[in-house]
Amino acid sequence: MCPPDDPVAWVQSAFGFAADDKQAEILRSEALRLILLTARQVGKSTIAALRALFLALRHRNSLILMISPVGSQAGEILRKATFFAAELGIRIRGDGVNDQSLLLPNGSRLVARPAVPVSIRGYSQARLIIVDEAAYVKQDSYKALSPILAVGGGSLWVVSTPAGPVGHFADLWHDPDNGWEKHSITAAECPRLSPEFIASERRTFGDLYVAQEYFCQFVAAGLQLLTRSQIKEATVETLPEVHFRLREKTRIYLGLDIGKRQDHTAIAVLELRWAYGQKDNLSQKIREIPTLVLRYSTRLALDTETTKIPQLVRDTLQRFAPRYGEPSRIDKLLIDATGIGHTVVELIRQNQTKAHIQPVMLTNGHVERHLKDGYLSLPRPDMLNSLKMVFELGNIKMEPSSPGFVDMERELIQFQPSGEQQEHDDLVMAMAMAVWQAAKDYPELLLPPT
């Protein structure tokens, strides 16, 4: 009853299942952490079921856990494993404890459970855990699974079709340094999905649906402000030096988002740089192209006293003050004066900062208005649209070495205009204010680079 060493040869001889090259590579994988990104209907559940049964038969008294957002989905892999076990002549019976389970003659158990932390706790030393439809499983459930693998050195497989660019599954797939073994199977690599069927799906449900469900693309579906690819394209390791003739045109823009009860106070610093482009054939002048660069971002701890915010502003302005011999300039600081922001504005004004201070009241309207005491009513949709456009046009850059980059990148990936993201949005809002002011001063930032 014990299978041979090669699982590919075993599934061929036992069930007549001829694995293709990708399926064979996955079946043979000994990786402790494996992520399988697939199109719909390419047989991912079958591969998972075969691997689970193979390990359960080879190793006595093994525990194989099958996890899914709801128990019935996890039961799909179990049902396939049960079908294959029946073909081997194994008597089908449960383990007497779990409703969805299979007990093998050698004492191994296959158990299907919903991805609810309380229902996962209590299991230990699993040889294999398979998380099906993993894109829909929350991070808390992953945390509950880790201790189950700690002692026995078992493997964790996460298997799914994409479900948008955010979430723990998307983070696992896009992280190049997490050590996970990664496999993908698109519709183009599955002979069972014909071009005619894909064309029919495209006509019925549209390009975005097909891109995500059949070609493994993490589609934002309009929820996220930015895509991962846009953020990745804006991230550069090093930036070229500014030509000495253009250095006097450099400007600094700062955004300060004032924390509320459960939010951080955050500040972001953008540098407006200029570079020479091509010569204009009509005027014979060389074009000057602007680019915004994220130089710095940070946030204060929750519940930081309001009186400490001016010190953050002073330190940040000093950090980017012109050095000896550099051209002088007036930096611009936008402050979200909504709520307690008015108090912060007055405190900063009393400190006589050299920057030009622009308090703004963020609204959900669509008209910008000047208010008394130098305040400005700024439509939040306009501000976020400016941020979105500079990323889409490639007119903003970020260096991974800049302070605060990791937190800013995470917030940008998660950020939703509706404000319903799981992450804080303080850094993004601070950046958006600085971008809006820079684009107000230099509208060419919202134009495609020439």
Residue 424 is given by DSSP the state -
**Which residues lie closer than 8 Å to 394 by C-beta, 6 or more apart?**
233, 234, 449
The pLDDT of residue 220 is: 65
Given this model, what pLDDT does residue 222 score?
Answer: 57
Helices (H), 320-425: 341-350, 380-392, 405-414
Distance CA 250, CA 438 (A): 11
* Mean pLDDT per 10-residue interval, the chain, length 450 residues: 81 88 90 91 88 91 86 76 91 86 91 80 82 84 79 84 81 87 88 86 79 81 77 90 86 90 87 86 80 94 84 90 82 87 82 83 84 89 91 93 92 82 84 95 81
**pLDDT of 107:** 92
pLDDT recorded at residue 268: 96
How many of the other CB atoms lie within 10 Å of CB of 282? Answer: 6
The pLDDT of residue 187 is 86
Model pTM score:
0.62
Per-residue confidence (pLDDT) for residue 227, from 0 to 100: 82
Beta strand residue intervals within 161-250, DSSP E? 181-185
- Give pLDDT, residue 74: 62
Set out the domains of the chain in order of their start, with CATH numbers.
7-215 (3.40.50.300), 232-446 (3.30.420.280)
Buried b vs exposed e over 221-247: b needs ≥16 C-beta within 10 Å? eeebbbbbebbeebeeeeeeebeeeee
C-alpha dihedral sign at 192, 20, 86, 39: negative
What is the 8-class DSSP label of residue 151? T
What is the predicted pLDDT for the residue at 302?
A: 82
Please report the pLDDT score of residue 36 as a whole number.
93
Q: Are 335 and 358 in contact (CB under 8 A)?
A: yes
- Rounded CA-CA distance 437/446 in Å is 12
